[in-house]
Amino acid sequence: MRKQSRTGTWIVGMFLLGLIVVPVVAQCPEQWQPGNGIPGLSSTVYALTMWDPDGPGPQPEVLVAGGNFTIAGSDFVNRVAIWDGVSWQALGGGFNNDVYALTVYNGDLIAGGAFRNSAGVSMDRIARWDGARWQPLGSGMNSNVHALAVHFGRLVAGGAFTTAGGAAANYIARWDGVSWQPLSSGVNAAVNALTLHENQLVVGGNFTSAGGSPANRIAGWSGAAWQPYGDGFNSYVYSLAIYDDQLVAGGTFSASAATTIRRIATWDGASWETLGGGGNTNGAVWSLTVLGDDLIAGGDFTKADDVPAYRLARWDGTVWEPVGAGANSTVRALATYQSRLIAGGSFTNIDNLPMNYASAWNGSNWEPLGAGILFESTSASVNAFVTYEGDLIAGGDFTSWGSDCTNYVARWDGDLWQPMGSEIDGQVLALALYEDELIAGGAGTGGIHRWDGSAWQVLGGGTDAAVHALTVYNGELIAGGEFFLAGGGLTEQIARWDGSSWQSVGLGTNNVVRALTIYNGELIAAGDFTAASPAVAARIARWDGTTWQPLGDGLNARARAVAVFNGDLIVGGDFTTAGGSTVIKYIARWDGESWWPMQTGFINYFVYALTELNGRLVAGGRFTGSGMSYVGGWDGSVWQPMGSGINNWVFALGTYNDQVIAGGRFSSAGAKVAAYWARFGAGEVGDLNCDQWVNMLDFAIMARHWLQGP
């Protein structure tokens, strides 16, 4: 862990700090703090291999993953990363495009794919790691590399290329240590897979001839000549493996000559045979490996020999069986590491548990590779924050955070995220405190829940549809959303809870209420509506305790967020005009009588969230104007960026421990890994060198200043 324990070293450190008469450094500047990483990777894995960085030296073997991901654990990586059994690490500058193949050659790690450079150095589709950086292998290829192997001491690459090192090489070439050489006249279409069998290099792909002779999608290279493997297949080969001394091929094929063989086959020395009862798999086999006595297949299939097996199956020599509950999307790569099966692909769920594109099978269940935030889909998000009993509460569209199931709500104690019950069954859109109780509103059954200290309870019979917003007004809890009924009574999108039952707020609104606040002693509701009965009110209205009233001529499109700042009401959303005709794009202020712009044009797209801290209004959403990246701060006269911003949409803003808290669908903030939530402020107490880590370097600063005196 990068952040050290608050005990041990820090007992000594705080004692020393108490002896220092004057501050040793100025307060750190405000910036985005490092956030939680993810277990696994941020996108698809295409290749896996084992590599020992120092050969016979003391360093252990590591797992290497290649794909199109840019985050691994808590590190930014560019499409290649290593897993040492504990954490993910970057491997140099990585690459500017996808990695499709990995192997080890003469002790060096080799990568092939679609990339054209690494850290600004040109390398066309193939590279080697020299221990410090990626280096080109000759002048590379003119198209993608799909597969790598070592045959008779030579590195062999296959793919979609037709030249290697500037010379003709039809889809396959070998590296002699100095230059690329063709393998005879090669094959006539793309190569997808390579392996070794009985001293031959076995090549699988899309081709129908090798060395000018017929060879349907699979062929062998002896080092001097090409040979077919029987009748081959009627469609593509994507994977190859050796199991029980026999060659196994997987792909999209359904036959070898007149023999029906569905997507996986074994070579008996004379012809291709089906592996199993004849059903084989009902979808493509992209990857193959061997674990103990089992052959493991990964792909797009959902059955193997009519046995349910979701994208993962194992053959024990007699029958096909599933590997756990399977994956929710394609398995592209398989390997074995530390006696465990490793799967990589485009999946985000294995064994009905969130897994980020890579997972390990321990023999009985699947486990994530590393710690961090586990979300079940790329559309997961944080939608709301509130502070409760000194902890930060987050609500959103997620069911797992950290290592625990969290069912749409989680609790941050300053160090760790913890689950809060399992009773809410749909995304949380709003959080609030009412009479010291935590209230959650959202799309789950019942719409609105209260936390009793150990479990969630539907509040007063709940609502018949989603709750989007919560606030407290005149001692009552106010809920707004898309519901018609609350507690069984007609309430029309907005309702009030008086402590014992739900009541209507006037005649409600004619469409969704998305945001609520209090301004000048009145309740403000904003959303999609055009009427707050009985008044015409374009997307925003005020309730004076008796009736609904418009705020001028309102807004021309959806309002999503409301806040009070410097005596004005601030509204953010999708609108482009306010007050009937005034051009006010996406954010506006109401001074009690009229609508006004806020530096028009600086926010150039939708605003989803607003908060205020220490005299600054903070807006979050989908905008990227004037140096602001999805989040910006307003000091009362101008909008300003907040550091380098966030890399994707912001849905929620709040404050906690004198920091701005942002939540959304992002993976980084301030060029630091921060999965789905981030903090902006002056940093941790004790971070004396402002590197955003509290560790021994800060202790050294304290000790040095103590020894030197004030």
- Are 456 and 423 spatial neighbours (Cβ–Cβ below 8 Å)? yes
Q: What is the pLDDT of residue 695?
A: 66
For residue 111, how many other CB atoms are within 10 A of its CB?
Answer: 30
Q: Going from the N-terminus, what domains does the chain have, and what CATH number goes with each? A: 36-133+338-372 (no CATH), 381-681 (2.130.10.10)
In total, the chain counts a number of residues equal to: 710
- Give the SS3 label for residue 469: strand
Amino acid at 419: P
Residue 433 vs residues 279, 364, 406, 438, 457: alpha-carbon distances, Å: 58, 43, 20, 5, 15
Task: Match 């840019």 to its residue by tokens.
Answer: 70
For residue 208, how many other CB atoms are within 10 A of its CB?
Answer: 13
Q: Which residues contact 8 (CB under 8 A, 6 or more apart)?
A: none
For residue 652, how many other CB atoms are within 10 A of its CB?
Answer: 27
Rounded CA gap, 302 and 281, in Å?
7
Q: What is the pLDDT of residue 2?
A: 34
In the DSSP assignment, the letter for residue 187 is B
C-alpha closest to that of 610 among 514, 523, 542, 473: 514
CA dihedral (163, 165, 167, 173) in degrees, to 10, reads -60
Rounded CA gap, 43 and 70, in Å?
7
Rounded CA gap, 31 and 695, in Å?
18
DSSP characters over 312-337: EEEE-SS-EEESTT-BSS-EEEEEEE
- Are 541 and 555 spatial neighbours (Cβ–Cβ below 8 Å)? no
Q: Is residue 556 classed exposed, middle or buried when 0-12, 13-18 and 19+ CB atoms within 10 A define those classes?
A: middle
Q: Which helix (H) or strand (E) holds 577?
A: strand 577-578
Rounded CA gap, 675 and 678, in Å?
8
Q: What is the pLDDT of residue 19?
A: 39
| CA dihedral sign, ordered 227, 233, 237, 241 | negative
Rounded CA gap, 660 and 675, in Å?
16
pLDDT tens digits, one per residue of 297-332: 999 999 999 899 999 999 999 999 999 999 999 999
In the DSSP assignment, the letter for residue 235 is S
The CA angle 180-186-190, to the nearest 5 degrees, is: 95
Structure tokens at 224: 């001097």
- Are 391 and 76 spatial neighbours (Cβ–Cβ below 8 Å)? no
Instruction: Report residues of the chain scoring pLDDT below 50.
Output: 1-26
Q: What is the pLDDT of residue 16?
A: 40
User: Where does 244-339 show beta strands of DSSP type E?
Assistant: 246-251, 255-256, 259-260, 264-267, 272-274, 285-291, 294-299, 303-304, 307-308, 312-315, 320-322, 331-337
pTM: 0.84
Amino acid at 74: S
For residue 513, how many other CB atoms are within 10 A of its CB?
Answer: 29
Helices within 162-271 (DSSP H only): none
Q: What is the pLDDT of residue 544?
A: 93
DSSP characters over 68-124: S-SEETTEE-SSEEEE-SS-EEE-TT--SS-EEEEEEETTEEEEEES--EETTEE--
